[in-house]
Amino acid sequence: MKRTGEYILAIVGILLSIILTFIGILFIALKQNDGIRQAIEGELTNDPTITMEDLSMVMDAIGGFGWMIIVASGIGIVLGLVSIFILKSERQTMAGVFFIITAVLVGLLSVGLGLLQAVLFLIAGIMCLVRKPKNIEKDPYVTV
């Protein structure tokens, strides 16, 4: 049985996870960029209720969020590739379970940014579990 749909969904999910990795790297770069920090500080001088401690806390949160996105997308890439290799070895049920585990981990760890990848992996996992090869048994009483 051809599993083209599952392969396409998994490959698109992996590609989107690679893009998400670059977004995580961007968040980390934003945290470390002094020009952006100074621009934010300049804007915060207009608002007296926000202190520099708040700015530091926000910048640290941006860096932590970037690392969380990188970890989630890395898990999506690795487990997505593992699932594809399992699917190629004709073990559809196991591949389906791996796709669903990948979907749950990417969806939860990426805090919503990996929702599209999670949905694609989930659909691929459900397709692996639900689609079964057709068993065409010949009726011994019918001659062709």
pTM (2 d.p.): 0.77
Between 77 and 59, residue with greater pLDDT:
77
Question: What tokens does 18 get?
Answer: 């690679």
Q: What is the pLDDT of residues 69-78, one digit of tens each?
A: 999 999 999 9
CB 118 within 8 A of CB 106: yes
Alpha helices in the chain, H assignment, sequence order: 4-32, 34-44, 52-88, 92-109, 115-130
The residue type at 144: V
The C-alpha atoms of residue 127 and residue 118 are separated, in whole angstroms, by 14
Q: What is the pLDDT of residues 92-132, one digit of tens each?
A: 888 889 999 999 999 898 888 889 999 999 999 998 888 87
